[in-house]
Amino acid sequence: MEEKNKRFTKTYVSYFILVFLIMLVIFLIINLVNNFYILEKKEIFASFIVSEHIGFDLNDSALTFGLVQPGLSSSREISIENKYEVPVLVIIKSKGDISEFLIVSENDFILKPNEKREVSFSVFPPKDIEFKEYNGKVEIILKKTKND
Amino acid sequence: MTKKNLIKKKIDTTSLIGYVAILVIILSLANIGIELTGRVTDTGSIYMEIISETNINFSVSNVNFGNGNLDLGATSATIDTLGNVVNGNWTAITQGFIIENIGNNNVTLKLASEKTAAQFLSGTNPVYQYNISNSEANSCTESEVTLGAWTDVNSTSPGTLICNPLDFVNSQNEIRIDIKLTIPSDSNTGEQTDTFTATATAV
């Protein structure tokens, strides 16, 4: 009886491991297919400070929105130009605690070769936001369109 | 070989786990490879530039003149953020807007309101003006407006060039914007709000 129980447990564990590995394979294949289309990724630091004052910080290597009052807004733009010979799909993502206050004017758009577009980023801190610095990263991902 | 053994041999779980594990390793390496090297079959690159210009909005309702009425018989009342109240019972306030340049570049600064005096206050001969002054000495080099003088708001985007430039040096990078309203007796009633947009461009 004990031998039978042991065998049952062993089989159960084996199946569990197998199911886990199969799920991992599926995840890796999806990731691989997604990554296969990625041409380039760029990360830009982004920040704003909630303050009673209004302030500018025109850093040209980061999306710094300066000092913003609660309930109001600040915006900056990034110019993106496609220097590839093929159309690219531009996907914009954000990370960090700035994410929930950051809005981008357009996302998931296609840029033709040599086409240039200015994308606007705005932060909208709500009226009840805590007075402190909020930061994170904006990730700009370029993907080859699936038709190419 | 019995039928049971044949099935067991065909579906040997341990071997299957081994094969799937090998597949996981191969796929993981492929993922890492693509992540590290990227695809090299397409030539080109992306050109990206963070534009050295920013817009910040602020609202006149934030100044919070609060509730108030014109004095009996007065045709208009004047209030400002320098503490003056004429012909009315508003509470005097002495707080304008402070704008700082906290970056590492001098900037030009333009200021635009969303509404004109007529749109904001309505009535007969309303006045809606701002007054730019240095909160820290030598911060703003005046341009299209005179520092310390009242100027009518400009609702045409991107507005009036008020500082050319606004300095970035720590002890001289701060200006103050005061607001003045002349409210006619036949003006809008209730809470009135307007939004200013300050546009800074690196120089």
Contacts of B197 in chain A (CB under 8 A): none
The predicted complex's ipTM stands at 0.76
Is residue B176 within a helix (H) or strand (E), and if so which, with residue range? strand B174-184
Long-range contacts formed by A109-116: CB under 8 A, 24+ apart: A110/A145, A111/A80, A111/A81, A111/A82, A111/A87, A112/A82, A112/A87, A113/A82, A113/A83, A113/A84, A113/A85, A113/A86, A113/A87, A113/B44, A114/A81, A114/A82, A114/A83, A115/A81, A115/A82, A116/A79, A116/A80, A116/A81, A116/A82, A116/B47
Q: How far is B56 from chain A (nearest CA, A)?
A: 4
Give the residue from chain A lying closest to B11, CA to CA: A15
A88 has a pLDDT exceeding 60:
yes
Q: Which of A32, A58, A59, A61 best tests the B interface by mutation, with the highest count of B CBs <10 A? A: A58
A146 has a pLDDT exceeding 70:
no
Give the residue from chain A lying closest to B174, CA to CA: A55
Q: What percent of chain A is predicted at pLDDT more than 70?
A: 97
Closest to B91 in 3D by CA, of B102, B80, B107: B80
**How far, in Å, CA of B119 to CA of B104, rounded?**
38
Contact B99 A60 (CB under 8 A): no
Mean pLDDT of A117-145: 94
Mean pLDDT of A104-129: 95
CATH of A39-144, one of 2.60.40, 2.40.128, 3.30.70, 2.40.160: 2.60.40
Read off the pTM.
Answer: 0.79
On whether any CB of chain A is under 8 Å from the CB of B62, the answer is yes
Query: Which residues are CB-contacts of B21 (< 8 A; sequence separation ≥ 6)?
Result: A21
- DSSP per-residue string spanning chain A: -HHHHHHHHHHHHHHHHHHHHHHHHHHHHHHHHHHHTEEEEEEEEEEEEE-SSEEE---SSSEEEEEE-TT--EEEEEEEEE-SSS-EEEEEEEEETTGGGEEES--SEEE-TT-EEEEEEEE---TT--SSEEEEEEEEEEEE-TT-
Q: Chain A to chain B, count of Cβ pairs less than 8 Å apart?
A: 177
A58 has a pLDDT exceeding 70:
yes
Contact A17 B44 (CB under 8 A): no
- Please list the pLDDT of chain B residue by residue as tens digits (203 residues): 555 565 555 567 788 888 888 888 888 888 777 666 655 456 677 788 889 888 888 877 555 677 888 999 999 999 999 999 999 998 888 888 999 999 988 999 999 999 999 999 999 999 999 999 999 999 999 889 999 999 999 999 999 999 999 999 999 999 999 999 999 999 988 888 899 999 999 98
Q: Which of B39, B41, B50, B139 best tests the A interface by mutation, with the highest count of A CBs <10 A? A: B50
